[in-house]
Structure 1
Amino acid sequence: MSFQRFYETWFEQLHQLMNQLNRAPRQPTAEEENHELVQKVMSHYSEYYRVKSIVAKQDILSVFAAPWATTLERSLHWIAGWRPTTAFHLIYTEASIRFESQIFDILRGLRNGDLGDLSPAQFRRVSELQCETVREENAITDELSEWQDGASDFVGMRSHGDGGKMEVLVRVVEKADQLRLKTIEKLVELFTPRQAAEFLIAAAHLQFGVRALGATYDRRL
């Protein structure tokens, strides 16, 4: 199976998992159910990056070009995928929207435990994770820049092999993918099962929306 076919199947399964998360009850008594569904989603993401790593070792340029993605998706890519720090912007946006919609309940002392109800300790840890992720993003970006700076040397090697240049690019993409998965994992660990479910749903809806908009644009070309 080509990676494009794998991705299409994987993406459809992600839709199904999100439907399950959306239907799951949000009461405190349903925390175990939410936790199990969250773990299923995390396993699904882990499988995507496992297969992508295998394909990258076989054809890194195809993975980098991401022909299975829409033009819009590719325009937003950072090293063959989404930028990890996007997750933090999404959290702040979701938390702000939910907080504002519940402000009167909160003033009355009512709490519902969703993303609009993050504790000061959770916000502090999110901020710390964001700073850590920015540093790692920058380091990986610098590695890609070094690889690109050596492009002229790579062209000169074309008749004598690539001198290991492709292996370096594979490692850069793998580091980027590892950071993407690690970022989601650490955030999910930080949240309650309900908050983790809401975060994953919001992230998936953003992914679905960008892909749908990109597909609409591509059909017009």
Structure 2
Amino acid sequence: MTRTGAFGAEVAAFQVILRTWLQLMQSVRDRLVDVPREPLHEAEHRAYVAEAMDHHVSYFLAKSILALRDPAVALCPPRLSLLAKALLWIGGWQPTAALRLVPAGALSAEQASSLEAIRAVTRAAVAAVEKEMRRVQNDGLVRFMLAGRAAASAAAVAAAEKAAIGRMVARQWSVSVVADSLRMEVLRRVVALLSPLQAVDFLADVVRMEISMHQM
């Protein structure tokens, strides 16, 4: 299969994964929004929170498998609007954006303190991921420019350039996986500090944000 053909197949595969996941998340959002809020329904709150978290784990796993073949598909999902693309952070929502969805006014002093600690850890992790992506891009460009200098033929130049691109793609995949892992870790940490009902409200807002990015 040609490069163009392979890329087209991967785009199509990602669109199927994304479309299926968004349909699932729309159903999850509806359940999170409509669940009875009385304490006696705490078991339902916990069940819907677990369902939303499981869907995120499955999506990030499927995305990482597809990105292994071509990170560009996952780093910039197809058919996003220009506005949505401008809001992307390494293929998805910025982890600190999710933290802004936590209803601060409803938190206890202990929860608020824990949330601030999560914010600090997340900001540091975001900075580290961004630094690594810049390093990958800069190193990839330099390696590509230098790839053919010692080559003895046009074929050798092409092979060296292909190898340089391959190394950069592999490193981009690693960064994209780390970015999704950070997104998932933020969800886990926030859900862990919230009550079941607070977690329901938080995840409902996260899902709304995710869906809206693909409807802009």
Provide TM-score, normalisation by structure 1: 0.81
How do 1:6-155 residues align onto structure 2 when only pairs under 5 Å count? 6-91=17-102, 94-95=103-104, 116-150=105-139, 151-155=141-145
Identity %, equivalent residues? 28
Structure 1 position 38, deviation (Å): 0.5
Provide TM-score, normalisation by structure 2: 0.83
SS of residue in 1 equivalent to 2:159: coil
Q: Which residue of 1 aligns with 2:181?
A: 178
Q: State the distance in 2 between where 1:69 and 1:155 align.
A: 31
Code of the aligned partner of 1:174: V
Structure 1 position 156, deviation (Å): 4.0
Code of the aligned partner of 2:144: F
Structure 1 position 205, deviation (Å): 1.9
Code of the aligned partner of 2:39: P
Unaligned runs of 5+ in 2: 1-11, 148-157
Per-residue CA distance 1:94-114 (angstroms, 9 max, x = gap): 43xxxxxxxxxxxxxxxxxxx
Give structure 1 regions of 4+ aligned residues with deviation exceeding 6 angstroms.
none
Contact 1:84 1:133 in 2 (8 A): yes
Unaligned runs of 5+ in 1: 96-115, 215-221
Q: State the distance in 1 between where 2:212 and 2:170 align.
A: 34
Contact 1:60 1:169 in 2 (8 A): yes
Cα separation, partners in 2 of 1:64 and 1:210, compared to 1, 3 Å? closer
RMSD: 1.6
Contact 1:72 1:211 in 2 (8 A): no
Q: Which residue of 2 aligns with 1:2?
A: 13
Per-residue CA distance 1:65-104 (angstroms, 9 max, x = gap): 321433222110111111101112222xx43xxxxxxxxx
Q: State the distance in 2 between where 1:49 and 1:69 align.
A: 18
Q: Which residue of 1 aligns with 2:159?
A: 159
